[in-house]
Every structure is written in C-alpha cells, then in structure tokens.
Structure 1
C-alpha cells in the first residue's frame, strides 16, 4: 500500500483521485450550488451546440450493432449470456469514452491563458449534467397540453416524457402517468447526478450520465433489450441506489421546511406548501418502494404520492405489454385524484426538493469534508 502523505491539512492514502476527478466538493466548494441554481433558473436553454447527452446517446446507438455482432460470435456462451457480456462491454466503453472526453476537455481548458476557460467549462459540464429544471419545465408544458389540448395532441405531448403506450389514455390516466414519470425522475434527473457531482466532479457526473442514458435507451424488459440492456440497467441500479433513498429523505426535509414556513406565515400557507399530504414515515416509504420492479424508482414516487395525497404506480402498459405494479401512496379511500392543481403542486414539490434538498446534501458534503480534514 502506498505510504500516507499530506496535501495541505488533509491526510491522503494512495493515489490523488482529484487528478482524475477534478471539481468535486472535496476541492471545489462552489461548483455544485452554482450548477444547481443555474439548472433551476435556466433549465436547458437553446444553445448554439447540441446538449452533451445527445452525443452520449448517439454513441450508444452506434455501439448496438458491434455489440450484437460480438455476441453472435462469442464462443462457449449461451445467446443470452453473450448478449449480457456484450452489453456490459458497451456500457464500459461508453463510460470510459464519456469520462475521458470530459476530463481531457477540462485539461485542455486549463492550458489556455487565464482562468475563465477552465471556470466556464467546469461550470458548463456540471450544469449540463443536471436535468431537474428542464424536467419540471417540460412537465408544466405537458400538463398544460393534457388539460387544454384535444386528446390526440395531449397523448402526443405526454409521449415526450413516458415510454408507456399513451394511445388509449383518457385525461385522468394521463394526469396520473405524468405524475408517475415526474416523481420517478427526481432521482435520475436531479439527486443522483448531483450526488456524483459532489463525489467526483463533472467527470464522475458524466460517467453516471453515460450509465443512466444506457438504462434509459436499453433498459427495457422487451425481447430486443432484455439481455443487451441488462448491464446498463443493473449498473444504473447500483449507482442510483444511495441517491434514490437520499432523495426520499430530502423530499421529507423539504416538506418539513415548508410546514415551518407555513406556520410562520399563515397568510401565505397555500403558496408555501401547495401540496396537502402527509409524511407516513420512512418505514412505510420503504415498504411502498419495495413493490416496484426497480429497486430505486419507488422511493421518490412513494414520497411524492404521500406528500401530494394522490396515488401513483399501478398496472401500466409498456410496448404493448401490461406490467403489474403496486399502488404507491395513501389508500384509495384517502387519496385524491390527480388534477391540474395537484400536478402543479407536485411540480413545486420537485423543484423545491431539488433546490432545498440539493443544498442540504451539499451542506452535508461540506460538513463531511471539514470532518475529514480536521
């Protein structure tokens, strides 16, 4: 084992990982909150270049054909095992290329004169990796179309966000489906990217984004993707395991602060806490979440369902197949239907949960950094 060495006041053992993962909270205290605020205020505005996640998705599409050819030629493996192995190699290659591009771009920016190029690129990579602001804005647009547009146009708008079959949905089901996907993505679009940004800076964030993109594109239990997307789905489960559970707790803390503010300013209680549900306790959230096929998606969904006093989950149709899911949230006799006002309250809960919860998570990381450096 490498000999311990001191860097400033910090005792380090082994290699200095900050050389590979610059910009983490351990060395750059301001990056995460700056990116968090930019995402909340700006979302993903139109820029002269395409969003980096488009290039990640494009590279993954190009990897499908070689991965399938490799699986077809694999000796001593069953077709299913060969596809899983080829999918794992594709995920590994995607993560390595994505992380390398981000790291080399930051290194190149550091060679340019002045501090601004490196500052700008570091902030851009961090901001672009967070997607909660964009999700909330898109959710508001879809909500408006679901309420105001004719059914075919409303179903088409909902299909922007969901992979479920929307062709036969009525408006109540569209509202519930929109609530499901917004709540589920609180982890994938917000807390998990922020967690990895804090832990390992933009490089770690974009390595996670590469895995998350693979899960989004290949992680379906259909004949085409069941085996090839297995590694991406399992990797995403692993990387989002802790952030998913932290996300539920952060939504609870957001609700606690909203309740306190509503008591201090009762004349603005409806605006300070537009959702009207209750927190059932972490044990109940855990039991609800355990009924979902994914080990992570149910945590934020159950928290949002209880706090908004409306149910989520239930049987759903994906690619023509009925998938049986447990209902999340209060019992049917206590739950309210999803309507436009309740969906707006959910949007508010998610955005405040990302801002308030994200700042709490950042503060906890800074506290941990201070303890480790003491």
Structure 2
C-alpha cells in the first residue's frame, strides 16, 4: 500500500494542488533553501580560491545527493511522511503558477497596461523587458510559456513519477543551479558548467515528450499539426540549447507565429535563432490559446507519467 501511495496517490494529489493553487508562495519553499545554499557555496568557493569548474561539479553532486537523502528521510516518517511527500511533490511542480502568471501578463497587455505587462513579464524571464512593445511582450511570453512547460512541469513530473519526491528534488537542485549559475558570463561560465551540462542531459527526454504532447493536444485545438510536424524538428536544432528549442519550435509552428529574433539580456542585444514562420506575430487569441494548450499538454503528461512510469517506483 505504501508503494502505491508514493507511486500514484502522491503525484496525483500534487498535480491537483498545483492546478488549484499554483506555487505555494506563503509556505517555506525548498527552492529558496537551495538558492541560499548555492549562494553560500559560491561565496565560499571564491573566498578559498577553489577552481570554479571543480567547485561547480562538487556543489551539484553533493547538494543533489544531500537533498535526495533529506527528502527520503522526511517522507519515511510514519504517517507524517505522506503529507510531507505530497507537499514536496506539489512544491516541485510549477504549471499552475506558469498559467496564472502568464494569463496575468496577457490580461494587463489586453487592457492597455503596457508598463504593468512589462513588469509582470520581467518576473518570468531573465531578459530585459523595459523596451518591449506589445508584439515583443507576446512573443517573449510565448517563448517562456512553451519552454517552461518543460522546465517547470513536464521534466519535474517525469522524475517524480520515476523516482518519487527525492528524485524530483535532486532534479530541481540541478535545474535551480542552472537557472542561477548557467550563464556564459565571466562570473558563471566555469561555476555553472556542471549544472548546465547536467541539466541538458536530464531534460533531454522530457523536452521531446513536451513537444510531442503539444502536437498531440494541438489537434484538439484545431491547429495545423501537419505543418508543425514538417518543420519543428529542423527549427529545434537551431537553438544553442539541445532541449529548449523542441517545445518552443513545436508551439511556434502550431500557431504559425515567430519566436526568437532580437532580445536584450543584461543590457546586451542578442540575436536568437528564429523559430516558426518569420515575421508572423503573436496576437491576443494565439497567446491565450497557447496558455490553454500548454495547460492541457502538461496535464496529459502528468496522467501518462503517473499511470505508466509510476510502476517503476514500485519495481525499484
């Protein structure tokens, strides 16, 4: 019964809670503790003069193992452990938050509040948003929704379904490290190397599953799935990341609207590969449809993973 609880009931309840409430902002969130630990580790590594690439590998391996061990210890507590497992699984999923925050940006833009939309969007992306026009905001929002469908939900759900909450949070350590340190700047190019490469490996299968599910659900939304299937793989290969381009290109071709192009990061203009038909814009309807499509694809992924991969937890 315990195996069934952790393989099926825990992830099922976690998905429901995520859908209903989004991120638990008012509760202690494990990502905050991971971030604080990484800040301490970074300052210590720099202070003692430890080689930053070696430090990055050490931080990733040690913290991932420690977090997995702590989670497994906590969820093994009699009776209380199940509730802890549900909370940790719920806190590791971010589809509800992505949908809610994305709709907020879209609503602000649709009601004419351009400054408000820029500010709300800046909470979701790392690029500069101050100079974005409405078309730029919608294109940026489309990119972050499709990419974070995988990073924030499908990939964590994949590891939750296979390894339980411990595996989910070991993955989240790597993902958090990549989001904090995975920049090719002078400060992070060595320190974040391990996290970036490991995150690429761990997200490889989930990213392709995400793209396939977008195409699958796209049929129900009446989108041009045939056109997307013909073009999205070629476009996905244009991206520097081996994974981000897959859900982004799938979404771009499904809605026949461009992603990529010029973007400003930390004050520097960057030319990103163009995905989808060049010059075609994201309008109000397409953005709303993409958010709904992503929600449906995410929930489909969850039920598939729970019903199929959950058996691996019992076997393992």
Shift of 1:26: 10
Matching of residue 147 in structure 1 with residue 91 in structure 2? no
Shift of 1:161: 0.6
Normalising by the residue count of structure 2, what TM-score does the alignment of the two structures yield?
0.91
- Counterpart for residue 273 of structure 2: 326
For residue 38 of structure 2, the aligned residue among 49, 53, 60 is 60
For residue 290 of structure 1, the aligned residue among 237, 242, 252 is 237
- Counterpart for residue 291 of structure 2: 347
Matching of residue 36 in structure 1 with residue 15 in structure 2? yes
Shift of 1:366: 5.3
Deviations 1:226-249 (A, max 9, x none): 111111111111111111111111
Normalising by the residue count of structure 1, what TM-score does the alignment of the two structures yield?
0.78
Deviations 1:308-341 (A, max 9, x none): 2211122322112233221112354xx4x21222
Q: Tell me: CA distance 1:209–1:368, structure 2 relative to 1, closer, same or farther (3 Å).
A: closer
- Once superposed, what is the RMSD of the aligned Cα atoms? 2.4
For residue 101 of structure 1, the aligned residue among 66, 70, 73 is 70
Q: Which deviates more, 346-355 or 121-130?
A: 121-130
Matching of residue 253 in structure 1 with residue 253 in structure 2? no
Cα distance in 2, alignment partners of residues 99 and 314 from structure 1:
39
Q: Pick the structure with more helix per residue.
A: 2
Cα distance in 1, alignment partners of residues 312 and 39 from structure 2:
39
For residue 120 of structure 1, the aligned residue among 43, 63, 83 is 83
Q: Tell me: CA distance 1:330–1:358, structure 2 relative to 1, closer, same or farther (3 Å).
A: farther
Cα distance in 2, alignment partners of residues 33 and 283 from structure 1:
34
Deviations 1:125-178 (A, max 9, x none): 111111111111111112222333543333222110111111211111111111
Cα distance in 1, alignment partners of residues 205 and 230 from structure 2:
16
Matching of residue 212 in structure 1 with residue 212 in structure 2? no
Cα distance in 1, alignment partners of residues 312 and 195 from structure 2:
30
Matching of residue 177 in structure 1 with residue 156 in structure 2? no
Q: Gaps spanning 5+ residues in structure 1: where?
A: 1-21, 75-81, 259-272
- Counterpart for residue 196 of structure 2: 233
Instruction: Judge conservation of contact 1:317–1:323 (CA < 8 Å) in 2.
Output: yes
Mapping for residues 18-33 of structure 1, pairs under 5 Å: 28-33=7-12
Q: Gaps spanning 5+ residues in structure 2: where?
A: none
Number of residue pairs the alignment of both structures matches: 315
